[in-house]
Amino acid sequence: MTRILIAGCGDVGSLAGVKLAGDGHDVWGLRRRVDALPPEIQTLAADLTSPDDLRDLPCDLGLVLYTAAAGGHDEASYRRAYVDGLQNLLAALVEQGQAPKRVIFTSSTAVYAQNDGAWLDEDSPTEPGRFTGQLVLEGERLLAGSPFASTVLRLGGIYGPGRDGMIERLRSGHAKRSPDWTTRFTNRIHRADAAGALAHLATMNAPESLYLGVDSEPTTEADLLKWFAERLGVPVPDQVSDPQRLAGSKRCRNARLLATGYRFRYPSFREGYSAQLERT
C-alpha cells in the first residue's frame, strides 16, 4: 500500500485515483473544490498557488501525481497551473522532508510545434511556438530539475463522456472544419485511457522519464468528421474555421507506452466515440 497524493485532482486525476484506491492504495486528492471528489479519495482542500495551503500535506507520501489543468486559456492561468503550482508543491515536499518514490506530471502534446503531419515520439524536438506548449514544457523542466525521480505523460486531446462539444456541434449543424482538414492529423486519448495509463505508470517499478499518452491512431480531421457524419446521419461540415486558429498537424506514436504492457481500452476514436455515442 502506497500513500498517493493527486494534486489538481480533476477528471483524469480522480478516475486514476479511484483505480489506485481500488488496488488498495491510500489516495489523497488535492484541489480547491474537494466536494467534487469521489468517496474513494481522501480530500485535501488547497490552492496550489498558495504555499501556505501546502504546509500540511499527508505524511509519508510514496507517490505524487500532478494533474492540475489551467482554469482559462490565457497565459497567466497556464503559468499558475503548470509552473507556479508545481513549483510550490515541489518546494513543500522538500521542506517537509518527503521522499516520494516518484512524481508523475500530466503534460501535453502541445509541446510539439511540428505541423507537417510527421510521426513523433518521445525523442522528437520540442520547440513550442505558443505559450500553451511553452509553459507546460517549463513545468516538465522544473520537475526534471527537482530532487525527485519523475515521469512525464504527454497527453493528446482528451475525449469521452462529459466532453461532448464536438458531437453537439455536429448534431446542431454548427461544426466547422479546418481549411487543411484533409491533411491535418489530430491525436487524442479517451479519458479512461488517460487515467488508465496514469495509474499504470504509477504502479510500475521503474517507468521511464517520458511517455506519449495518445491512442494508436492519429487521424486526419477529415476522416474523423466523415466518420461522425455517417454515424450521426448529419452532413459533413461545410463551414471552414478561421485559419488563424490552425492547431498544427502531427502524428504522435504511443509505442513506448504500449511497450510497458499498457493495453488501451479504446485503441482508436472509433471504439471510444462509438461507446460515447451510445450514451448521448
Ligand X SMILES: NC(=O)c1ccc[n+]([C@@H]2O[C@H](COP(=O)([O-])OP(=O)(O)OC[C@H]3O[C@@H](n4cnc5c(N)ncnc54)[C@H](OP(=O)(O)O)[C@@H]3O)[C@@H](O)[C@H]2O)c1
What is the smallest separation between the CB atom of 211 and ligand X, expressed in angstroms?
13
Residue 140 lies near ligand X (rule: CB under 6 A):
no
User: Closer CB to ligand X, residue 162 or residue 243?
Assistant: 162
The dihedrals phi and psi of 44, each to the nearest 5 degrees, come to: -140, 100
Is 133 within 8 Å of 79 (Cβ atoms)?
no
Indicate the angle between helix axes 165-172 and 269-279, nearest 10 degrees: 70
Question: Contact region for ligand X (CB under 6 A) — 77-85, 91-99, 123-131, 222-230?
Answer: 77-85
Question: Contact region for ligand X (CB under 6 A) — 66-74, 91-99, 216-224, 225-233?
Answer: 66-74
What is the smallest separation between the CB atom of 233 and ligand X, expressed in angstroms?
27
Residues 6+ apart with CB under 8 A from 4: 17, 20, 25, 26, 27, 28, 61, 62, 63, 64, 65, 202
Residue 108 lies near ligand X (rule: CB under 6 A):
yes
Residues 6+ apart with CB under 8 A from 184: 117, 178, 220, 221, 222, 246, 247, 248, 249
What is the smallest separation between the CB atom of 269 and ligand X, expressed in angstroms?
14
Residue 220 lies near ligand X (rule: CB under 6 A):
no
Give CA–CA dist 226/228, Å, rounded.
5
What is the smallest separation between the CB atom of 193 and ligand X, expressed in angstroms?
12
Residue 256 lies near ligand X (rule: CB under 6 A):
no
Amino acid of residue 7? A
Residue 8 lies near ligand X (rule: CB under 6 A):
yes
Question: Contact region for ligand X (CB under 6 A) — 19-27, 63-71, 202-210, 242-250?
Answer: 63-71
Give CA–CA dist 178/186, Å, rounded.
12
Q: Which of 2, 10, 40, 117 binds ligand X (CB under 6 A)?
A: 10
CB burial of residue 200 (10 Å; 0-12, 13-18, 19+): buried
Residue 139 lies near ligand X (rule: CB under 6 A):
no
Residue 49 lies near ligand X (rule: CB under 6 A):
yes
What is the smallest separation between the CB atom of 243 and ligand X, expressed in angstroms?
22
Residues 6+ apart with CB under 8 A from 26: 1, 2, 3, 4, 42
Q: Which of 90, 155, 252, 257 binds ligand X (CB under 6 A)?
A: 155
Q: Is 136 helix (H, G, I), strand (E, B) or coil?
A: helix
The footprint of ligand X (CB under 6 A) covers 8, 10-13, 31-33, 47-49, 67-69, 71, 80-81, 85, 106, 108, 155, 157-158
